[in-house]
Copies of this chain bind each other. A is one copy, B any other.
Amino acid sequence: MTLALQPIGVINTPFKEKKNMPIQPAAGAGEKGTVAIFEEYRAGLRDLAGFSHIILLYHFHKSKKFNLQVVPFLDTEPRGLFATRAPNRPNPIGLSVVQLDKIENGVLHIRNVDMLDNTPLLDIKPYVPEFDTHTEIRTGWLEKARKNVASRKSDDRFR
């Protein structure tokens, strides 16, 4: 059973190559980008401007063959792929919560971008704390490393 997806738009960012990118939206704080929604989907943007933050699902379009064990950017030893946010995955879907500044003529102006330029957009969902956030959490191997995410950049390990 295969699920076939088609992009609904394109994400543009300052990041032209995989090296030296912010590795998460937190690390891309302030970095601006745009999302151009294809004409035929623009009617679905109604009411979206009321949300300060949105969830973008996108295609890791430069993703290659995946490996079930990877050394993540924030660590020095191999971890199970599904315990990481590495881009090379069986289904290469990326997820970022970004800040939405405004929408003009079908173009979303966003902030805190951490994706490559020309990334194909698959879906937009409103970010809602009651749905999407949790307290009293544990974060395994990331427990220490996640505090340093804002100061880390990618290298070329996921070519």
Q: Footprint of B on A, CB under 8 Å?
A: 1-8, 24-26, 41, 43-53, 55, 57, 59, 68-69, 79-85, 89-93, 95, 97, 99, 120, 122-134, 136-143, 146-147, 149
Contacts and interface: CB of A to CB of B under 8 A. Distances in A.
B82 A125 contact: yes
Given A24-B130, A90-B6, A47 B80 contact: yes
A48 B83 contact: yes
Contacts of A136: 52
Nearest to A50: B140
B80 A46 contact: yes
B48 A68 contact: no
Given A91-B123, A126-B142, 7 more contacts: A44-B83, A46-B80, A47-B80, A50-B143, A53-B137, A128-B146, A129-B139
Closest 5 CB pairs of A and B: A50-B140, A46-B80, A47-B83, A44-B81, A44-B68
Contacts of A8: 90-91
Contact of A128 (B6, B59, B127, B139): B139
A124 B82 contact: yes
A2 B45 CA distance: 22
A79 to B, nearest CB: 5
Nearest to A54: B82
B91 A137 contact: no
